[in-house]
């Protein structure tokens, strides 16, 4: 069965990110095993959670106990609420099975690609996101497996992948800046992030900064 053009484009657009996601998966696998997880538990975490932020935080707070981990996971997850509302608006009415599937891999990267695709006129956003989801999910899980089994031999941080991720989101934001209001939102987001870095726990920074900037943007009328 031939793949739809939108699905193929979703796969194509996410190839570069696949490499970065895979490298981060390697880093997670290394850290998870180092923190005391078995190889299979590390792999299971990537298969069922599918969230780099939540999983790295879980590993980082493992020694602090259960409550901090669950609280941090909740704080990190809050940003998914407006993301899921935005995605629901973009895809329109869809069967429940489709919506559950799209929600399962509603990560920053595939959300960003889908918003970018909507802004650039991709016809079938469900197929597009499915292509991106499959690509990035396979990269995340495969990377975790490699890191968990062979982790000590690789060092993803050495090539500056953190900067690549930042650049990727800068690139995803670029086409969304169309009006003066959008510039204000972007500048407020930077300022709010720097303020959040100084004053808030890591789990709450991005959600808080984005919410403040979006709220100010919502009050600004063009």
Which one of residues 3, 15, 153, 218 is an interface residue with other proteins (CB under 8 A)? 218
Subset of residues 118 to 147 that bind other proteins, contact rule: CB under 8 A: none
Indicate the residue among 62 and 154 with the shorter CB distance to other proteins: 62
From the CB of 85, what's the least distance to other proteins, in Å?
Answer: 4
Select from 19, 99, 138, 149 the one that contacts other proteins (CB under 8 A). Answer: 99
Cβ atoms within 10 A of the Cβ of 163, count? 9
Provide the CB-side half-sphere exposure for 54 (13 A, CA).
21
Near other proteins by CB under 8 A: residue from 64, 123, 155, 166: 166
Q: Does 15 bind other proteins (CB under 8 A)?
A: no
- Spatial distance between the Cα atoms of 60 and 5, rounded to a whole number of angstroms: 41
Query: What are the start-end ranges of the E strands in the chain?
Result: none
Query: In this structure, are residues 39 and 11 in contact, taking their beta carbons and an 8 Å threshold?
Result: no
Nearest-approach distance from CB 220 to other proteins, in angstroms? 8
With contacts defined by CB under 8 A, name the span among 121-129, 130-138, 143-151, 174-182 that binds other proteins: 174-182
169 binds other proteins (CB under 8 A): yes
Helix (H, G, I), strand (E, B) or coil at 59: helix
- State the minimum distance, in angstroms, from the CB of residue 116 to other proteins: 7
Give the contacts of 200 (CB within 8 A, at least 6 positions apart). 208
Q: Do 46 and 144 meet the contact criterion of CB atoms below 8 Å apart?
A: yes
- Residue 163 lies near other proteins (rule: CB under 8 A): yes
Total interface residues for other proteins by CB under 8 A: 88
When binding is defined by CB under 8 A, the residue of 102, 136, 148, 203 that contacts other proteins is 102
Q: Output the CA angle 114-176-112, nearest 5 degrees.
A: 25
**Min separation Cβ 78 and other proteins, Å:** 6
Q: What would the two tokens of residue 131 be?
A: 């292509």
CA geometry: angle 84, 166, 41, nearest 5 deg: 65
- From candidates 29, 112, 143, 151, binder to other proteins by CB under 8 A: 112
The C-alpha angle 121, 173, 97, rounded to 5 degrees, equals 55
Is there binding between residue 84 and other proteins (CB under 8 A)? yes
153 binds other proteins (CB under 8 A): no
């Amino acid at each position: 069965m031939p793949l739809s053009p939108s699905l193929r484009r979703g796969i194509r657009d996410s190839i570069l990110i696949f490499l970065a996601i895979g490298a981060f998966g390697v880093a997670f696998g290394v850290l998870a095993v180092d923190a005391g997880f078995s190889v299979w538990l590390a792999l299971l975490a990537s298969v069922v959670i599918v969230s780099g932020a939540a999983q790295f935080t879980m590993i980082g707070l493992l020694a602090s106990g259960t409550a901090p981990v669950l609280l941090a996971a909740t704080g990190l997850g809050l940003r998914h609420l407006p993301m899921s509302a935005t995605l629901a608006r973009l895809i329109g009415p869809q069967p429940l099975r489709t919506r559950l599937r799209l929600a399962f891999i509603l990560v920053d990267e595939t959300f960003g690609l889908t918003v970018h695709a909507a802004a650039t006129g991709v016809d079938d956003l469900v197929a597009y996101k499915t292509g991106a989801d499959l690509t990035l999910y396979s990269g995340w899980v495969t990377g975790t497996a490699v890191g968990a089994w062979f982790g000590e031999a690789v060092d993803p941080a050495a090539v500056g992948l953190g900067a690549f991720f930042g650049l990727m989101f800068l690139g995803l934001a670029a086409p969304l800046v169309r009006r003066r209001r959008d510039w204000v939102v972007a500048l407020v987001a930077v300022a709010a992030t720097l303020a959040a870095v100084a004053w808030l726990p890591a789990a709450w920074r991005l959600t808080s900064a984005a919410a403040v900037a979006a709220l100010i943007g919502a009050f600004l009328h063009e």
